[in-house]
């Protein structure tokens, strides 16, 4: 049996685990202690911390660059591969039924599933020996996973949506759109963006992955009183996985020392534009995979989403687990309502 993925995990990525970016610096004493220091003791070349986006267009064959960072192509492909395997193979065989819910805005039933991944199972994760090595965490707890699956007629009609509309809403500008259709999200702050060029995709071994994006966002959630606001910093990777399907992956990432962050490093306390944005949040951990696939025979879109999270603070995990299934089911209604309003202005296409 294969070891669990070291990437599809609730353990946050560290800055040194990420591919090179102009805003990231990698000094010698930051490098992981596994013999990857192949350069002199200088910092990464061409790293300008004033820039928060860059275009990458030169493919490299190796998984790791000379500076010890993962190569961008290998990093993205490994995450997308693991995410697709998780939804297509792991979820159908490892998850158990939780409940079924009806949607008020979508003409469909929502199937909810669950899985508990124990700390013992996670002790088998090969953090450094996998395709994309990453730092070994000091502590790894269990993961409580929840998933939902729904099927939607592939039509531009009330109570459903076609594939172009799903692609527009979920893959294109994923975080910005999530902030628009989810009432509790009050900000989606873009921290960094890797602008993946079409040339890099053409010349790299991405298989069927196209339209690739990768960025870091701080997703800000307001919770009912007396709970504090929560901020989840996530690395977001999106791609089409064929002509009739796509995937969106969000992985937790620790950006507390990154100057381009806004909430994670406390800049919001003095620079926030509203009282809500100036509140001191609790930093949580969140990861999710969303996948939409068109089933042509039935002319249905199968929308699957799996997530594990920890809101941190004093909110106990047992209480979080009670609320998550209902929350992810409500997202179906939120999205359908939003698409219905947006299509009034014209056709939606990612």
pLDDT tens, residue by residue, 145-163: 999 999 999 999 999 999 9
pLDDT of residue 165 exceeding 90, the answer is: yes
If you average pLDDT over residues 72-97, what whole number do you get? 96
Tokens 């124990």 — which residue?
Answer: 118
Query: By the 8 A CB rule, do 110 and 102 touch?
Result: yes
56 backbone dihedrals φ, ψ, rounded to 5°: -110, 125
205: confidence class by pLDDT, cuts 50, 70, 90 = confident
pLDDT of residue 260 exceeding 80, the answer is: yes
- Tokens, residue 27: 């000094």
35: confidence class by pLDDT, cuts 50, 70, 90 = very low
Q: What is the pLDDT of residue 33?
A: 44
34: confidence class by pLDDT, cuts 50, 70, 90 = very low
1: confidence class by pLDDT, cuts 50, 70, 90 = low
Which residues share a beta bridge with 220? 187, 231
pLDDT of residue 218 exceeding 60, the answer is: yes
* Among 8, 38, 13, 5, residue whose Cα is nearest residue 135: 13
Query: By the 8 A CB rule, do 191 and 258 touch?
Result: yes
Task: For the chain, count helices (H), then strands (E).
Answer: 8, 10
63: confidence class by pLDDT, cuts 50, 70, 90 = confident
If you average pLDDT over residues 255-283, what whole number do you get? 97
pLDDT of residue 27 exceeding 80, the answer is: no
Q: What is the pLDDT of residue 17?
A: 95
> At a CB cut-off of 8 Å and minimum separation 6, what does 276 contact?
186, 222, 229
Q: What is the pLDDT of residue 62?
A: 60
Question: Whole-angstrom Cα distance, residue 259 to residue 19?
Answer: 17
Q: Cα separations (Å) of 250 from 7, 79, 216, 235?
A: 11, 10, 9, 5
Query: By the 8 A CB rule, do 192 and 214 touch?
Result: no
Q: What is the pLDDT of residue 191?
A: 97
Per-range mean pLDDT, top range of 26-30, 53-57, 278-282: 278-282
Q: Residue 63 class from Cβ within 10 Å (0-12 exposed, 13-18 middle, 19+ buried)?
A: middle
Task: Compute the residue count for the chain.
Answer: 350
pLDDT of residue 18 exceeding 80, the answer is: yes
Least confident among 10-19, 47-56, 87-96, 146-155: 47-56
If you average pLDDT over residues 96-111, what whole number do you get? 95
Task: Fill in the DSSP letter of residue 37.
Answer: -
Task: Fill in the DSSP letter of residue 41.
Answer: S
Q: What is the pLDDT of residue 38?
A: 32
Residue 170 zone, left/alpha/beta (φ > 0; ψ -120 to 50; rest): alpha
Question: Whole-angstrom Cα distance, residue 231 to residue 309?
Answer: 12
Per-range mean pLDDT, top range of 86-90, 133-137, 346-350: 86-90
Instruction: Give the pLDDT confidence of 337-348 residue by residue, as tens digits.
Output: 999 999 999 889
Instruction: Give the pLDDT confidence of 277-335 residue by residue, as tens digits.
Output: 999 999 999 999 999 999 999 999 999 999 999 999 988 889 999 999 999 999 999 99
pLDDT of residue 261 exceeding 80, the answer is: yes
């Amino acid at each position: 049996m294969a070891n669990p993925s070291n990437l599809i995990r609730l353990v946050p990525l560290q800055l040194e685990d990420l591919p090179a970016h102009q805003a990231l610096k990698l000094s010698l004493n930051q490098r992981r202690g596994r013999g990857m220091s192949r350069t002199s003791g200088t910092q990464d070349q061409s790293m300008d911390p004033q820039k928060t986006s860059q275009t990458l267009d030169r493919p490299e064959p190796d998984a790791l660059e000379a500076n010890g960072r993962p190569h961008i192509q290998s990093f993205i492909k490994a995450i997308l591969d693991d995410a697709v395997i998780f939804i297509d193979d792991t979820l159908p065989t490892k998850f158990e039924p939780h409940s079924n819910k009806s949607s008020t805005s979508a003409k469909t039933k929502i199937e909810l599933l669950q899985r508990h991944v124990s700390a013992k199972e996670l002790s088998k994760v090969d953090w450094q020996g996998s395709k994309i090595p990453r730092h070994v965490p000091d502590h790894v707890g269990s993961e409580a996973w929840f998933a939902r699956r729904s099927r939607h007629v592939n039509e531009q009609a009330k109570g459903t949506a076609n594939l172009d509309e799903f692609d527009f809403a979920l893959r294109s500008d994923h975080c910005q759109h999530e902030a628009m259709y989810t009432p509790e999200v009050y900000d989606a702050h873009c921290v960094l963006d890797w602008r993946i060029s079409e040339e890099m995709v053409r010349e790299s071994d991405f298989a069927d992955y196209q339209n690739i994006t990768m960025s870091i966002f701080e997703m800000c959630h307001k919770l009912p009183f007396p709970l504090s606001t929560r901020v989840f910093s996530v690395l977001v990777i999106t791609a089409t996985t064929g002509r009739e399907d796509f995937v969106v992956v969000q992985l937790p990432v620790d950006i507390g020392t990154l100057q381009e962050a806004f909430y994670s490093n406390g800049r919001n306390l003095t620079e926030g534009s509203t009282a809500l944005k100036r509140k001191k949040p609790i930093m949580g951990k969140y990861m999710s995979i969303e996948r939409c696939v068109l089933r042509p025979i039935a002319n249905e879109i199968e929308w699957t989403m799996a997530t594990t999270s920890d809101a941190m603070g004093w909110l106990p995990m047992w209480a979080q687990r009670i609320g998550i299934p209902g929350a992810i089911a409500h997202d179906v209604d939120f999205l359908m309502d939003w698409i219905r309003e947006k299509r009034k202005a014209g056709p939606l296409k990612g």
